[in-house]
Amino acid sequence: MKILVTGGAGYVGTSLIPQLLDHPTWKVRVLDNLMFGGDQLLPFVRHPNFEFVKGDVRDSGALVTATRDVDVVIHLAAIVGYPACRAQPELAKSVNIGGARALMRAVSHSQLVLFGSTGSNYGKAIETVTEDTPLAPLSLYGQTKTTAERDLLDNCSTVAFRFATAFGVSPRMRLDLLINDFTFRAATQGYLTVYEAEFMRTFIHVADMGLAFVHILEHYWPSLVNNVYNIGSDRMNYSKREICEMIRARLVNTKVHYADIGNDEDQRNYKVSYEKFSFLGYQTRYTVEQGIDELVSAFTLLDIHSKYFNA
C-alpha cells in the first residue's frame, strides 16, 4: 500500500509516520511545505519506504505529483487550532479550504482520502453530540474544517475523522493545545488562571490519533466511504477543572486560580459520543494522566521557545 500524508511534518503527522512505517509493506510519502521546519523528519529519511516531497497543499501541480500512484491520502495539512487561525485568517481559509479543494481535484475516486477533521465543528452543545448532530462551529478553525470536510465527502472517496482535542508529546511539539499548554505553564510557572472551568472538552493522545488511521487501513472495507467518525474515548470527556486537578496531583506546588470574571475566547463546550467508531473495534490506549506525565518529562528536555506554538 502506498500512502500520502499531507502536512506530514506537523504535530500529528510526525507521530503517525513511524506507526505507518511499522508495516513492512506500506510505503509512505509526505507532502509538506515545512512551515515549521523539517528537522522532525530526519529520523525517517534512511527508511527505505519513506519519501519526502516539499510542496504546498494549495499547489495543484505539487498535489498531482504527490498523489500519483498512491492508494490512500491522509489529509492533515492545515492551519490548526483557534489561535493560529485567528492570527492568520486569510491563510487559514486558503490552506484549510483551498488545500482540500485542490486535493479534491487531484485525486480519483479509486483513491481513498482519510481526512483529519475536528470536534471543533460541533461548537457548543448541551446534549452529548454524535456524528448526526448538526454542526455549529464557533471559530474560524472549526468553520474552515467544516467546509473542507463537506467538500471532500461530497466529491471524493472520503472517511472523515472528527478528532477530540489532541495532547501529548510528538516530534513536532505543540504547546498551544489545552492539556499541553496547562501542563507547560504549571511545570514552568507553577501557576494557572482558568476561565469557565466547567466547560467540557474531549481529549485524545496524539499517538491514538495516528492509531485511528492505522486501524482504518488495517480493517478497511468500502462501506466506510463517505462516513464520518468521532475519534476519541467516552472515558476522556473532562471539564477544564478536572484537567487542572489532574495536573495539580502531579505537580503539587502548582496554584490554580479559577476565575469568576472573564471568559475563554475559545467558547467550545461539548461532550462527545465515540460509540460509532468503537463499534469498529477501535479503542484509545493512552490516558490524560499518562500524557501529563510524559509532558512533564519532555519539558526537561526541550529548550522551549516560540517555535513550539502554532500561534
Domain positions in the chain:
2-167+203-233, 178-201+235-269+286-308
Can you give the pLDDT at residue 225?
A: 94
Q: How far apart are CA 252 and CA 265, in angstroms?
A: 28
8 Å CB contact between 142 and 96:
no
Percent of the chain past pLDDT 70, that is, above it, reads: 95
Q: Which fold has domain 178-201+235-269+286-308?
A: UDP-galactose 4-epimerase; domain 1 (3.90.25)
**The pLDDT of residue 127 is above 90:** no
Phi, psi dihedrals of residue 172, rounded to the nearest 5°: -105, 90
Residue with cell 498551544: 176
Residue of 134 and 271 predicted with greater confidence: 134
Cell of 72: 490512500
pLDDT bin (cut points 50, 70, 90) of residue 266 is low
Mean pLDDT of 178-201: 92
Q: How far apart are CA 210 and CA 166, in angstroms?
A: 11
Q: How far apart are CA 86 and CA 84, in angstroms?
A: 5
Per-residue pLDDT tens over the stretch 12-70: 999 999 999 999 999 999 999 999 899 999 999 999 999 999 999 999 999 999 999 99
Q: How far apart are CA 83 and CA 192, in angstroms?
A: 18
Mean pLDDT of 85-96: 95
Q: Can you give the length of the chain in residues?
A: 311
Q: List b or e across 268-293, with b for residues whose CB sees 16 or more CB atoms inside 10 angstroms.
A: bbbbbbbebbbeeebebebebeebbe
8 Å CB contact between 85 and 16:
no
Q: Which fold has domain 2-167+203-233?
A: Rossmann fold (3.40.50)
Can you give the pLDDT at residue 82?
A: 85
Can you give the pLDDT at residue 157?
A: 96
Residue of 152 and 311 predicted with greater confidence: 152
Per-residue pLDDT tens over the stretch 218-238: 988 788 999 999 999 999 999
Residue of 264 and 61 predicted with greater confidence: 61
Can you give the pLDDT at residue 49?
A: 98
pLDDT bin (cut points 50, 70, 90) of residue 125 is confident
Per-residue pLDDT tens over the stretch 128-181: 899 999 999 989 999 999 999 999 999 999 999 999 999 999 999 999 999 999
